[in-house]
Amino acid sequence: MKVGGEPVFVRTLVSWLSLAGALVLCLTAGQSVAEVHADVIVRDAQLYIGDVQPQDKSLYQPIEFTDYWTRLRRQQGINGFYRLIADVPLAGAAEQVPMAVYIANHSGRATVLWDSNVIGRSVPLTGVGTPMVSGPLLLSIPDELLGAGPHELLIEFRGNTTQTNFMRRPQVLPLFDIESRFVTKKLTLVYLPVSLGVLSMMFALVFYAAYYKDAAAGGVGWLVIGLVASAFSVLGLYVSVPDPWAEWLGRVRPIAFQLSFLCFWLALRKMVGATGQWSLRLLLFTYLVFAVLTLTVDAAQVYMVAVLWTPLTYALGLYVLYQAVRLASRPPRRIYALLPLALVPVTIVHDALGIGAGGEFWADQALTIYNPPLFAFALILMLVARTRMQQSDLRILNAQLEQRVQEKHAELEANYEKISAAEQREAVLSERERMVREMHDGLGNQLVSTLAMVESGQFSSAEVEEALRDALDDLRIMVHSLDQQETDLLGLLAIVRERLEPRLARQGLRFNWQVEDLPDIAPLDPEQAGHVLRIVQESLTNIIKHANAKTILIATRIDGDRRCLIIEDDGCGGGDFVATTGGGRGLVHMRERAKQLGGELEVTAGTGGQGTRVTLCLPRVHSAPA
Amino acid sequence: MVEMNHKQTCTVAVVEDDPNTRARLTEKVDNLADFSVIVSAGSVAEAKDLLRQSPPDVLLIDLGLPDGSGLDVIRQQSDLHPEMPILVISVFGDEKSVIRAIEAGAQGYLLKSDSSLAIEQCLAQLLAGGAPISAAIARHLIRRLRPEPTQAQREAQSLLSDRELEVLQLAAKGYSYQDIAELLQVKVSTVGSYTRRMYQKLSVHSRSEAVFEATRMGLMDRPHKGE
């Protein structure tokens, strides 16, 4: 089953091209920055380590210009003050235009003096608190302070305690020339990261809302936590908090940043379905150790912890990168998901180049801090692709299942039809047999004996008529039994009554009808109905022929567990009945039929010793109460 | 209203395709006091034609006719003369055909083998506004006219009155009109007239059902207002 349609080489080509493109971009950008010329010649760059800025200039120590706020210097004190003295040779032409001092990025606070006149101090960028960001500083030089010849520029930096601060060469250029540069820097240093932070936070929430219930999207929770943590670490840079909290924010921010990588690793683990526990424990343990260290060490040591932590984070990041590439090359192959990750090496190269260039970053700031969102986007792309693939797999599976069910269904139906056709044939056959038997025993016999009556010529036409009516009644009952699928006892008795009552009435007999529903006996199938009919018919015939009765009681009774049908006459008595029929076939046949019905037949004397009572007891159905 | 209480001769139509049976039936009916056969037909077309010319007081009709079903004639006659008693002539009086006939508007059946006495009793009962019933027909009426318990909640009320239902339930158990009259303490003829009324309800009910079904199937979905 092939889900990703495009050939492998196209995907490989695309991924390598994107990587190469990113590298080219990175290098050309570095090239263009290298063209920025420094008009300021730094004459004196000195650093003082201590809490209070000394008035005595001799207390400052000379530093390398490329020096930054290193671990070693931090160990020597809480605050440090840089003192930069630069010569600014201004050409005559420059005197005609407004000039400005531009410091590409600076840290903490800076006070700028022009020929020993204070021309400005750094203030937070408008609208955004930037306590820890190395933002650009732009100060106009008053016209009256400008003149031909060299000028002295003195900048006093006050470094902060938890950030790495890089010194940059200040520039003195025409104001209009550098204003645009200032705006660009502000955008890339402030607005872009803040927007990225906010966007990734929102994206995380939307993504979570869309996928949190999707079982196929394993790891979505970790991805979202990672995104939120990375957004927090970025946004934390731009949040102004009162002093005691500022330091804590400075400590929590790197913890959040590291957390994001850990979360991505966890998300990836879920996505590839890894179960290794030792690596998980080791990573969690390391993370916790560094987090606790970051929170508890002396403020001057925070940076040291971060420095120690960084290689681990890089290693983890590279491992995540490697696993992500492997994951992306598995079905569903989503090489485009690697595009955000292609930028990760670019950021690493960028930062490495910056450090290699002696701390002078050509883009002012480390780009690696934007890596977490890149990871997150790549993983999300893969996750979405995987979820979709699983859904389509599920659809295919469902379709296959459906088809198989239908095939089975058709098969079963065919089988069922075969079987039911066979059953039907058998039912027709047995019903036909029953009819033949009935016609043979009943109607056939009756017609033969009637024919004999007519042939003998000794019987009156009334007698012949009676015999023919008997035959017709028999036929009617047969027609009825063919008409019904199944009958209940009362319906059957009613039929008998309707058919036989006129004849009985002619004989001066009447019914005493006392039937009630017997709800817990089973409905009768045609054969059973035939048995009951014959029993009743035989009983009634016996009464007509032998009993000399006036009334026939037909009643249903519930007698304990037995459900009984009673046919009783008030004629000359049971003894006669048994005497006349006991030896004959009649009673034997009736008993036989009762047995076929699963019941039994009793012949006793009628109520008060008068007449005869035939009791047919039928089995009770237990499964249907009420 | 059917004129039956006076001594006038009651007119009867016999529609039956078998000439022997028709002759026998006609003879039996003619021999009865107060009855005379005025129409005797052997096909649907003939019957419709003759019945239109001279409508009788009572119609006796066979269902299986050479050019169609007696049911058509029954429907037509019960539309034209709703009060005209119609009896189906049947060999066995099997429920399926009798119930179809009652749904079309008949009130009962005569067996071809019935004696003159039985025919006379049946006609008398009909002219007195009653109708005969068998257990199987009673069961059918209970099923058709009394809604199921679930349906009962939807339909405002059953088509049957309590008394009618009692009559039906007893008849379904095989109790005769005499038995029922004794049990319910009413006159035998009252039981017959209950039955007659229920037959009418069944007829109306099954016709409205047929109309409903036809409408549902889109056969009659173009109503014409007044035109």
Does B136 contact A495 at a Cβ distance shorter than 8 Å? yes
Is the per-residue pLDDT at A376 higher than 50? Answer: yes
Residue of B nearest to A518 (CA): B173
Task: Tell me the DSSP string of A504-547.
Answer: HHHTT-EEEEE----TTSPPBPHHHHHHHHHHHHHHHHHIIIII
Contacts of A491 in chain B (CB under 8 A): 135-136, 139, 172, 174
Q: Is residue B222 situated within a structural domain? A: no
Query: What is the domain extent for residue A613?
Result: 506-618
pLDDT tens profile A70-80: 545 555 555 67
Contacts of A501 in chain B (CB under 8 A): 176
How far B115 CA lies from chain A's nearest CA (Å)?
A: 10
Question: Residue A66 carries which DSSP code?
Answer: T
A233 sits in which H/E element: helix A220-235
Show the tokens assigned to B88. Answer: 């189906």
- Tell me what the mean pLDDT of segment A301-315 comes to: 77
Contacts of A490 in chain B (CB under 8 A): 135, 172-174
Dist. CA B203–CA B78, nearest whole Å? 10
Q: Residue B15 has what pLDDT? A: 92
Indicate if B112 and B166 belong to the same structural domain. Answer: no
Q: Is residue A148 situated within a structural domain? A: yes
Q: Is residue A141 situated within a structural domain? A: yes
Backbone angles phi, psi at A112, to 5 degrees: -115, 125
pLDDT tens profile A509-524: 888 888 888 877 878 8
- Tell me what the mean pLDDT of segment A458-479 comes to: 80
Q: Is A490 on the interface with B (CB under 8 A)?
A: yes
- Tell me what the mean pLDDT of segment B79-94 comes to: 83
Contacts of B175 in chain A (CB under 8 A): 513, 515
Mean pLDDT of chain A: 75
Indicate if B14 and B88 belong to the same structural domain. Answer: yes
Residue of B nearest to A556 (CA): B173
Q: Is B142 on the interface with A (CB under 8 A)?
A: no
Cβ–Cβ < 8 Å for B44, B70: yes
A119 sits in which H/E element: strand A117-121
Question: Residue A441 carries which DSSP code?
Answer: I
Among the partner-chain residues A472, A498, A515, the one whose CB lies closest to the CB of B173 is A515
Total domains, chain B: 2
Q: Residue B13 has what pLDDT? A: 92
Q: Are strands A171-174 and A149-159 parallel, antiparallel or unpaired?
A: unpaired
Q: Residue B2 has what pLDDT? A: 46
Among the partner-chain residues A472, A483, A501, the one whose CB lies closest to the CB of B95 is A483
How far B92 CA lies from chain A's nearest CA (Å)?
A: 6
Q: How many CB pairs under 8 A join A and B?
A: 53
Q: Residue B158 has what pLDDT? A: 63
Indicate if B37 and B112 belong to the same structural domain. Answer: yes
Indicate if B87 and B36 belong to the same structural domain. Answer: yes
- Tell me what the mean pLDDT of segment B31-58 comes to: 88
Contacts of A475 in chain B (CB under 8 A): 92
Cβ–Cβ < 8 Å for A267, A226: yes
- Residue scoring higher pLDDT (B204 or B15): B15
Q: Residue A325 has what pLDDT? A: 80
Q: Residue B1 has what pLDDT? A: 41
Contacts of A483 in chain B (CB under 8 A): 94-96
Q: Residue B223 has what pLDDT? A: 47
Interface of A with B in 501-540 (CB under 8 A): 501-502, 511, 513, 515-517
Residue B156 pLDDT grade (very low, low, confident, very high; cuts 50, 70, 90) = very low
Q: Phi-psi region for residue B173, left (φ > 0), alpha (ψ -120 to 50) or beta? A: alpha
**SS3 of residue A484 by DSSP:** coil
Q: Residue A133 has what pLDDT? A: 53
Name the residue with tokens 């019945």. B51
Indicate if B99 and B203 belong to the same structural domain. Answer: no
Query: What is the domain extent for residue B116?
Result: 10-127
- Tell me what the mean pLDDT of segment B91-117 comes to: 80
Q: Residue A2 has what pLDDT? A: 38
Cβ–Cβ < 8 Å for B110, B60: yes
How many CB atoms lie under 10 A from the CB of residue A569? 29
List the beta strands (DSSP E) in B28-164: 35-41, 58-62, 64-65, 68-69, 86-90, 108-111
Indicate if A58 and A27 belong to the same structural domain. Answer: no
Q: What is the CATH number of the domain that holds B114?
A: 3.40.50.2300
Is the per-residue pLDDT at A34 higher than 50? Answer: no
Indicate if A270 and A393 belong to the same structural domain. Answer: yes
How far A490 CA lies from chain B's nearest CA (Å)?
A: 5
Q: Is residue B191 situated within a structural domain? A: yes
Q: Residue A272 has what pLDDT? A: 77
Cα three-residue angle B55-B56-B58, rounded to 5 degrees: 135
Indicate if A165 and A218 belong to the same structural domain. Answer: no
- Tell me what the mean pLDDT of segment A299-315 comes to: 76
Segment among A315-324, A395-404, A438-447 with least mean pLDDT: A438-447
Q: Is residue B3 situated within a structural domain? A: no
Q: What is the CATH number of the domain that holds B143?
A: 1.10.10
Could you tell me which residues come within 8 angstroms of residue A185 by beta carbon, excluding any fewer than 6 positions away?
A104, A105, A135, A136, A364
Asked if omega into A332 is within 30° of 0 (cis), the reply is: yes
Q: Residue A361 has what pLDDT? A: 43
Name the residue with tokens 């008993």. A591
Q: Residue A574 has what pLDDT? A: 55
**SS3 of residue B69 by DSSP:** strand
Query: Final residue of a domain: which of B127, B150, B173?
Result: B127
Query: Final residue of a domain: which of B102, B127, B152?
Result: B127
Indicate if B164 and B193 belong to the same structural domain. Answer: yes
Among the partner-chain residues A469, A472, A494, the one whose CB lies closest to the CB of B174 is A494
Among the partner-chain residues A472, A479, A491, the one whose CB lies closest to the CB of B139 is A491
Closest by alpha carbon to A348, among A71, A23, A68?
A23
How many CB atoms lie under 10 A from the CB of residue B190? 17
Contacts of A497 in chain B (CB under 8 A): 135, 174, 176
Residue of A nearest to B117 (CA): A502
Indicate if A93 and A119 belong to the same structural domain. Answer: yes
How many CB atoms lie under 10 A from the CB of residue A137? 24
Closest by alpha carbon to A361, among A348, A350, A369?
A350
Q: Is residue A493 situated within a structural domain? A: no
Query: Final residue of a domain: which of A380, A398, A416?
Result: A398
Cβ–Cβ < 8 Å for A223, A376: yes
Indicate if A539 and A590 belong to the same structural domain. Answer: yes
Indicate if A242 and A330 belong to the same structural domain. Answer: yes
Q: Is residue B162 situated within a structural domain? A: yes
Dist. CA A37–CA A171, nearest whole Å? 8
- Residue scoring higher pLDDT (A180 or A23): A180
Q: Is residue B226 situated within a structural domain? A: no
**SS3 of residue A256 by DSSP:** helix
Does A469 contact B96 at a Cβ distance shorter than 8 Å? no
Q: Is residue B1 situated within a structural domain? A: no
Among the partner-chain residues A475, A479, A497, the one whose CB lies closest to the CB of B174 is A497
Cα three-residue angle A426-A429-A434, rounded to 5 degrees: 125
**SS3 of residue A332 by DSSP:** coil
How far A460 CA lies from chain B's nearest CA (Å)?
A: 18
Does B176 contact A502 at a Cβ distance shorter than 8 Å? no
HSE-CB for A299 with a 13 A CA cutoff: 14
Q: Is residue B223 situated within a structural domain? A: no
Indicate if A176 and A232 belong to the same structural domain. Answer: no
Query: Quick one: B147 exposed, middle or buried, by C-beta within 10 A (0-12, 13-18, 19+)?
Result: middle
Indicate if B85 and B103 belong to the same structural domain. Answer: yes
How far A502 CA lies from chain B's nearest CA (Å)?
A: 9
Q: Is B43 on the interface with A (CB under 8 A)?
A: no
Query: Final residue of a domain: which of B127, B162, B196?
Result: B127
Q: Is residue A152 situated within a structural domain? A: yes
Indicate if A26 and A50 belong to the same structural domain. Answer: no
Q: Is residue B116 situated within a structural domain? A: yes
Dist. CA A554–CA B173, nearest whole Å? 12
Cα three-residue angle B141-B145-B150, rounded to 5 degrees: 125
Indicate if B14 and B123 belong to the same structural domain. Answer: yes
Q: Is residue A556 situated within a structural domain? A: yes
- Tell me what the mean pLDDT of segment A89-102 comes to: 67
Is the per-residue pLDDT at B194 higher than 60? Answer: yes
Indicate if B90 and B159 belong to the same structural domain. Answer: no
How many CB atoms lie under 10 A from the CB of residue B51? 22
Is the per-residue pLDDT at A452 higher than 70? Answer: yes
Widest CA span in chain A: 168
Radius of gyration of chain A (CA): 54
Q: What is the CATH number of the domain that holds A529?
A: 3.30.565.10
Does A494 contact B96 at a Cβ distance shorter than 8 Å? no
Indicate if A319 and A381 belong to the same structural domain. Answer: yes
Query: Could you tell me what percent of chain A has a pLDDT over 90?
Result: 3
Residue of A nearest to B173 (CA): A490
Q: Is B177 on the interface with A (CB under 8 A)?
A: no
Cβ–Cβ < 8 Å for A197, A235: yes
A134 sits in which H/E element: none
Contacts of B92 in chain A (CB under 8 A): 475-476, 479-480
Contacts of B172 in chain A (CB under 8 A): 490-491, 494
Residue of B nearest to A481 (CA): B94
Q: Is residue A470 situated within a structural domain? A: no
Cβ–Cβ < 8 Å for B62, B92: no
pLDDT tens profile A336-368: 777 777 888 888 787 777 665 554 444 346 677
Indicate if A24 and A56 belong to the same structural domain. Answer: no
Burial A228-246 (b: 16+ CB within 10 A, else e): bbbbbbbbbbbbeeeeeeb
Q: Residue B225 has what pLDDT? A: 42
Q: Looking at mean pLDDT, say which of A334-338, A430-434, B178-182 comes out highest.
A: B178-182
Question: Residue A565 carries which DSSP code?
Answer: E
Indicate if B79 and B174 belong to the same structural domain. Answer: no
Is the per-residue pLDDT at B96 higher than 80? Answer: no
Dist. CA A126–CA B161, nearest whole Å? 92
Query: What sign has the CA pseudo-torsion A150, A151, A152, A154?
Result: negative
Indicate if B109 and B67 belong to the same structural domain. Answer: yes
Interface of B with A in 75-134 (CB under 8 A): 92-96, 113, 115, 118, 134
Query: Final residue of a domain: which of A357, A380, A398?
Result: A398
Q: What is the CATH number of the domain that holds A73?
A: 2.60.120
Indicate if B211 and B180 belong to the same structural domain. Answer: yes
How many CB atoms lie under 10 A from the CB of residue A588? 12
Chain A interface, mutation test: which of B24, B92, B137, B180, most A Cβ atoms within 10 Å? Answer: B92
Dist. CA B24–CA B19, nearest whole Å? 8
Indicate if A173 and A216 belong to the same structural domain. Answer: no
Q: Residue B3 has what pLDDT? A: 45
Mean pLDDT of chain B: 79
- Tell me what the mean pLDDT of segment A580-600 comes to: 76
Is the per-residue pLDDT at B153 higher than 50? Answer: no
Does B136 contact A501 at a Cβ distance shorter than 8 Å? no
Contacts of A515 in chain B (CB under 8 A): 173-175
- Residue scoring higher pLDDT (B173 or A33): B173
Query: Final residue of a domain: which of A350, A366, A398?
Result: A398
Dist. CA B79–CA B89, nearest whole Å? 20
Is the per-residue pLDDT at A163 higher than 60? Answer: no
Could you tell me which residues come within 8 angstroms of residue A303 by beta carbon, excluding any fewer than 6 positions away?
A69, A71, A74, A162, A163, A164
Query: Could you tell me what percent of chain B has a pLDDT over 90?
Result: 3
Contacts of A481 in chain B (CB under 8 A): none
Total domains, chain A: 3
How far A227 CA lies from chain B's nearest CA (Å)?
A: 59
Query: Could you tell me what percent of chain B has a pLDDT over 70?
Result: 82
Could you tell me which residues come within 8 angstroms of residue A574 by beta carbon, excluding any fewer than 6 positions away?
A603, A604, A605, A606, A611, A612, A613
Q: Is residue A466 situated within a structural domain? A: no
Dist. CA B126–CA A243, nearest whole Å? 112
Show the tokens assigned to A4. Answer: 């990703």
Indicate if A127 and A225 belong to the same structural domain. Answer: no
Q: Residue B14 has what pLDDT? A: 92
Dist. CA B227–CA B223, nearest whole Å? 10
pLDDT tens profile A56-65: 878 887 776 6
Residue of A nearest to B118 (CA): A502
Q: Is residue A356 situated within a structural domain? A: yes
